[in-house]
A and B are shown apart, each in its own frame.
Chain A
Amino acid sequence: MTKNVLFKSLLFAASFIVLLICGGIVYALVSGSWEAFSQFGVFQFIFSSDWDPTIGNEHYGALSFIVGTLFTSFLALALCIPFSLPVSLFIGEYFKGKKIANFIGSVIDLLAGIPSIVYGLWGFYTFRGLMVDLHLSSEGFGILTSSVVLAIMIIPYATSLSAEFFKMVPNDLKEGAFSLGATQYEVIRRVSFPMTSSGVFASYILALGRALGETMAVTMLIGNTNLLPTSLTDTGNTMASIIANQFGEADGLKLSSLIAIGLLLFVITAIINLIGRFIMKKFAPTK
């Protein structure tokens, strides 16, 4: 009997470790960013776009990076949907269960498996050249370049989830529409879309959550300037890329400011993920 009790407490302990890790993460982020927040004030820190490491006149604010993050991520999401939606229809509706759907599905899985740094390399050596050739920007770095590569990176996440929702649409509903003379397009528009809209929407929200935190590819492509980006071809920095760029040589107030940016990013991605999961649980058809 004692063995049973021991084993049960072992299982409990394993789950408790997860709780401890989460507590430890929040504690480390809050205590690490304390110096920056108490120096500048939380509100000031978020809404100031200064990033001045001059000793004696140090001033740090996160606004440029928050804008950079939101700008690239939402643009990436907008660019991702026109590709993700057809692919999820292809897998979950038109060729549901067929070999060709499996093939496209595997390709999507492979895209998800490519490391961020490899996407960055491809963006840097190949796609950036294309941007220069098209005269979209002189060096090829910037918001637009990062967003396109980000879009390719999040297509798998948006697609595989939303395809699952299309697969879940009951066949008898579709057959009913077909028997009334509807074409496949009409079935998709009038039956599949209304049934899956919230689930597909939630998939896009979760894909957005991915884009917000992507680091390496963006760091290699965005141009790394600490300015507030205002147009598609501007260079900038995202919250993740400024941390990746400057964490190594930072200390004191600057380090604390970078951790504060990390805390803000943590909060933003947590909120986005929660919204996505909430919608999925609440409105998804039986799952």
Chain B
Amino acid sequence: MTMTIKKIKDRAFFYGVCFFSFLTVVPLVAIIWELVSKGYKQINWSFFTESAPSTFEAMLAKQSGDILPGGIANGITGTLLMVCLAAIIAIPVGIFAGVYLAEKPKSKYAAVIRFIADLLQGTPSIIIGIIAYAWVVKPLGSYSALAGATALMIMMLPLIIRSTEETLKMLPGSLKEAAAALGAPYYTIVLRILLPSAFGGLFTGTLLAVSRVTGETAPLMLTALGSTAINWDVTAPTSAVPLLIWEFYNDPNLADMIWSSSLFLMALILILNLIAKQVAKKWRIQ
């Protein structure tokens, strides 16, 4: 008798676990379905090549029952500009700092840096936005792509540092020893042996950091602000795809654009993630 109660409990728990696990898939399916079903109509050539329409243009198109004119080119170029600027600084600094930490596993100073990197990683993005505002927007006297890139850079840095450190720690010590035994100087060991061997991990870490900041909205609201035209001037206000989504959300006439731009943003992030995973699989350190 006790045996059966025991078994029933066990089964019930198992089915409960399965039920709740599959329930967690529901929001993902619901969100993707909503983006695709509402967003596909707006996706066409001009979606990628033209700037966002004005409220008035959108209103006219809506009245005549057309799809909205224009696209999100100003957002795509802005996102590209700011993410690249951020990456140019964050990748070398992050990788070098990561190497430093991996080479000094026991030093007190390294422990402090590690601690700060963790602290930065947990800092809410809106606070990073305030910081970039205080550092860049206030001294320059204007919202700018530079300020937005600064915010994104600060967010990418801890991610790259920690992934670099973790990857380098996995490399066998014999690799370094063999190079040193051949008389290679330290910088050659790091630049020619360690970093190339860790390439897969570094690439994955960087790509994940990029995909993480691509969808950020809050810090850009306080720093890059947005612009209605394509802008390549780093000292001028610049738009980004998430910023455009926020604008569309706040303007009822442009509401139709929300879904296509969100679909685009999601697809972009998804592709970055998939590439990162593929690379991680291929270059895994044995």
Evaluate whether A183 and B130 lie within 8 angstroms (CB atoms) in the complex, with A12-B100, A113-B270, A269-B124 already known: no
Residue of A nearest to B187 (CB): A7
Q: Does B84 contact A (CB under 8 A)?
A: no
List, in ascending order, chain A residues with CB within 8 A of B19's CB: 86
Q: Which of A109, A120, A122 contacts B273 (CB 8 A)?
A: A109
Residue of B nearest to A14 (CB): B96
Q: Could you mark each residue 2-33 of chain A with 1 if its beta carbon is under 8 Å from any beta carbon of chain B, else 0? A: 01101110111111011101101100110010
The answer to whether B124 touches A265 (Cβ under 8 A) is yes
Q: Could you mark each residue 104-120 of chain A with 1 if its beta carbon is under 8 Å from any beta carbon of chain B, else 0? A: 10011111011111111
Q: Does B199 contact A (CB under 8 A)?
A: no
Q: Does A213 contact B (CB under 8 A)?
A: yes
Give the number of residue pairs across the A-B interface with Cβ within 8 Å: 231
Q: Does A89 contact B (CB under 8 A)?
A: yes
Chain B contact residues, majority secondary structure: helix
The answer to whether B10 touches A94 (Cβ under 8 A) is no
Evaluate whether A122 and B31 lie within 8 angstroms (CB atoms) in the complex, with A115-B217, A117-B245 already known: yes
The answer to whether B21 touches A86 (Cβ under 8 A) is yes
The answer to whether B21 touches A19 (Cβ under 8 A) is no
The answer to whether A116 touches B270 (Cβ under 8 A) is no
List, in ascending order, chain B residues with CB within 8 A of A188's CB: 13
Q: Does B76 contact A (CB under 8 A)?
A: no
Q: Could you mark each residue 1-30 of chain B with 1 if its beta carbon is under 8 Å from any beta carbon of chain A, else 0? A: 000001101100110111111011101101
Q: Which of B13, B130, B185, B269 contacts A243 (CB 8 A)?
A: B130
Evaluate whether A90 and B21 lie within 8 angstroms (CB atoms) in the complex, with A216-B218, A262-B127 already known: yes
List, in ascending order, chain A residues with CB within 8 A of B270's CB: 110, 113
In the assembled complex, the Cα of A4 lies from the Cα of B112 at a distance in Å of 24
Q: Could you mark each residue 168-207 of chain A with 1 if its beta carbon is under 8 Å from any beta carbon of chain B, else 0? A: 0000000000000001111010000000000000000010
Q: Which of B16, B30, B218 contacts A116 (CB 8 A)?
A: B218
**Which one of B116, B124, B126, B222 has the highest number of Cβ atoms from chain A below 10 Å of its Cβ?**
B126
Evaluate whether A125 and B124 lie within 8 angstroms (CB atoms) in the complex, with A87-B24, A116-B218, A183-B7 already known: no
Q: Does B179 contact A (CB under 8 A)?
A: no
Q: Does A42 contact B (CB under 8 A)?
A: no
List, in ascending order, chain A residues with CB within 8 A of B135's CB: 24, 28
**Which one of B112, B119, B122, B187 has the highest number of Cβ atoms from chain A below 10 Å of its Cβ?**
B122
In the assembled complex, the Cα of A110 lies from the Cα of B31 at a distance in Å of 11
Q: Does A236 contact B (CB under 8 A)?
A: no
- Interface range on chain B (Cβ under 8 Å from partner): 35 or more
Interface residues of A (CB under 8 A from B): 1, 3-4, 6-8, 10-15, 17-19, 21-22, 24-25, 28-29, 32, 82-83, 86-87, 89-90, 94, 104, 107-111, 113-122, 124-126, 152, 155, 159, 183-186, 188, 206, 209, 212-216, 220, 240, 243-244, 247-248, 258-259, 262, 265-266, 269-270, 272-274, 277
**23 pairs, A vs B, C-beta closer than 8 Å:** A4-B187, A11-B96, A11-B99, A11-B103, A15-B101, A18-B116, A18-B117, A18-B161, A25-B123, A82-B20, A109-B273, A113-B211, A113-B273, A124-B249, A185-B9, A186-B10, A213-B125, A215-B124, A240-B124, A240-B218, A244-B126, A270-B123, A272-B122
Interface residues of B (CB under 8 A from A): 6-7, 9-10, 13-14, 16-21, 23-25, 27-28, 30-31, 34-35, 92-97, 99-101, 103, 109-110, 112-113, 116-120, 122-127, 129-131, 133-135, 154, 157-158, 161, 185-187, 190, 211, 214-218, 221-222, 225, 242, 245-246, 249, 258, 262, 265-266, 269-270, 273
